[in-house]
Amino acid sequence: MAVLYRKYRPQTFGQVVGQKNIVKTLQNQISQGKVAHAYLFTGGRGVGKTSIARILAKALNCKKNVNVNELPGGSVEDACGECEVCKAVEAGNFIDLIEVDAASNTGVDNVREIIEHIKFAPSVGKYKVFIIDEVHMLSKGAFNALLKTLEEPPRHVVFVLATTEIHKVPSTIISRTQKFDFKALSAEELKQNLKNIAQKESLAYAEEIFDLVCQNAGGSVRDSLSILDKISTLGGEAEISDVRALLGVTDSALLSELLILIAEGRSAELPEFFDKLLEMGTDFEIFNKDFLEFARKLLVSKLIKEEFLESKFAELEVNDLIFIIRLFLKSFKDIQISPSPDIPLLLASIEASMKKAAPVSHPPVVAKEIRKEQETAKVVEPEAQLEVRSPQLSVIDSSGSESLTVDEVLVFWPDVLEKIREINGPLGSMLKIATLSGAENGRIAIQVKYLFDQKTIEKNSNLILKTIKEVSGKNLGISAKLYAAKHEDSPALSINDALQVFGGEVIE
């Protein structure tokens, strides 16, 4: 249903959307009479390869150009779009333009036929132009026949080979062509083009509809216009919600709602949220994919510290988002084997929300709490070996452990965290969220909520121990303990609660 795409196919270089450098180069070559014998156009589908190849055929043979080019110093580098040649190319019946779709004609015979054509001089125009689309589909024999022709091309012939899969084109062919890499179009280029066409078609759509089309077009003019075709079936004044439904695109408000539930640790509300999605007839595979994209965008903007971040996600740290994305990558895979497609997503959401339910911030100094945790902590043998692991406790000792009190640790701990954060942001953030529960036998005891965090500490033990040594001047070990499930609520004192109870001060 590429109605609009066919209707608005560019007919001159001036009408081409994007690909400015390629167009400019070709125009220069035409005006200077330095046209190559063989071009190779590579790039994704619907980015203008065939359109530009046809315009090149026109411009090389355009009656206006032929006349002007014969005048000394005079040149026109675009097709006029009006002469008999331009009209014939547009109508698909220009005798000196031979188009082959290699996807449907892969035989060696077809290339032989082309070579037969090559012997004859152009009938009407100045050049015979051969466009071989999806050239990577040619058989080996056909490539060899083509190669022979490319080695000794007649003067009046121009080849344009086009492909979406350059890696399947033999290097011997590539080396005999001038290669142009067509780029995916930017959202801005697509949007401008869509808006122009919509205006001509009397389709008055809101800005956000055009944005949505561009997001789903994958940089392809053809795809953007076939989406617009689809939308136009809704009439001239479509609503964004109808367009989303039509395209099977998830309402971003739902994605945002899910992330808020996760970020605020509201796991109890998740089943109801998923019931709502079920009632709406949601395609969970699409929802999962869109949620991943949503989280990915947020992660990227966090990493580059974009200012316009929505404040409702301000509490989500980079490592939270990485954790969430990992969970939803897994659920995406699990959907395929799940008897009911919502289950993997619900599980991923609950797991993610429970991680966020872990205390977000603690006062680094809460003496009473530390003592309480020490009472319930598993006893660590002083002679514990390096990296002794148990499901509950991970112990990393530095050689020659020294003894010191909790208060002594707390003097330098914030500096340790800061320094680690500079080197490994996610690790630093995770350690800051973790509870410092004590210091015993020369070992700093930390409590974390997830095995994942515990493993991260183990994996980064060298950095942690080295930083502790640098900051404190002491050889200290570290132990990372998982909160027992029953303790889930116990460390969740807010900073303010703790300050009130213990009269401490926040060390940032």
Tokens describing residue 3: 């109605």
Sequence-distant (6+) residues with CB within 8 A of 373 are 435, 437, 438, 445, 447, 491
Q: How far is the CB of 68 from Zn ion (least distance, A)?
A: 11
Sheet holding 435-440, edge to edge: 388-389, 393-396, 477-482, 443-448, 435-440
Is residue 129 within 8 Å of 36, Cβ to Cβ? no
Amino acid in position 483 = Y
Nearer to Zn ion, 57 or 493 (CB): 57
Q: How far is the CB of 93 from Zn ion (least distance, A)?
A: 15
Amino acid in position 373 = E
Q: How far is the CB of 236 from Zn ion (least distance, A)?
A: 35
Nearer to Zn ion, 80 or 197 (CB): 80
Nearer to Zn ion, 59 or 225 (CB): 59
Is residue 100 within 8 Å of 114, Cβ to Cβ? yes
Nearer to Zn ion, 53 or 380 (CB): 53
Is residue 230 within 8 Å of 1, Cβ to Cβ? yes
Nearer to Zn ion, 33 or 281 (CB): 33
Name the 3-class secondary structure at 169. coil
Is residue 477 within 8 Å of 445, Cβ to Cβ? no
Nearer to Zn ion, 62 or 225 (CB): 62
Q: How far is the CB of 125 from Zn ion (least distance, A)?
A: 10
Amino acid in position 416 = V
Nearer to Zn ion, 86 or 409 (CB): 86
Is residue 97 within 8 Å of 129, Cβ to Cβ? yes
Q: Which of 117, 143, 113, 142 is nearest to 128 (CA)?
A: 117
Nearer to Zn ion, 57 or 259 (CB): 57
Q: How far is the CB of 253 from Zn ion (least distance, A)?
A: 51
Q: How far is the CB of 97 from Zn ion (least distance, A)?
A: 13
Q: Taking the CB of residue 64, how many other CB atoms lie within 10 A of it?
A: 17
Please give the residue ranges that form the binding site for Zn ion (CB under 5 A).
Answer: 62, 80, 83, 86
Q: How far is the CB of 77 from Zn ion (least distance, A)?
A: 12
Q: How far is the CB of 34 from Zn ion (least distance, A)?
A: 20
Amino acid in position 234 = L
Q: How far is the CB of 290 from Zn ion (least distance, A)?
A: 46
Is residue 411 within 8 Å of 399, Cβ to Cβ? no
Nearer to Zn ion, 66 or 240 (CB): 66
Is residue 59 within 8 Å of 85, Cβ to Cβ? no
**What phi and psi values does residue 399 have, to the nearest 5 degrees?**
-70, 150
- The CA dihedral of 59, 63, 66, 70, to the nearest 10 degrees, is -150
Q: Which of 29, 90, 100 is nearest to 62 (CA)?
A: 90
Nearer to Zn ion, 78 or 369 (CB): 78
Q: How far is the CB of 121 from Zn ion (least distance, A)?
A: 20
- Tell me the C-alpha distance between 101 and 146, whole Å: 14
Q: How far is the CB of 64 from Zn ion (least distance, A)?
A: 5
Please give the full DSSP string across 179-217, using - where no structure is assigned. EEEPPPPPHHHHHHHHHHHHHHTT----HHHHHHHHHTT
**Beta strand 388-389 pairing with 443-448:** unpaired
Tokens describing residue 163: 């492909």
Q: How far is the CB of 61 from Zn ion (least distance, A)?
A: 8
Is residue 127 within 8 Å of 30, Cβ to Cβ? no
Name the 3-class secondary structure at 120. coil
Nearer to Zn ion, 80 or 102 (CB): 80
- Tell me the C-alpha distance between 98 and 103, whole Å: 15
Nearer to Zn ion, 86 or 468 (CB): 86
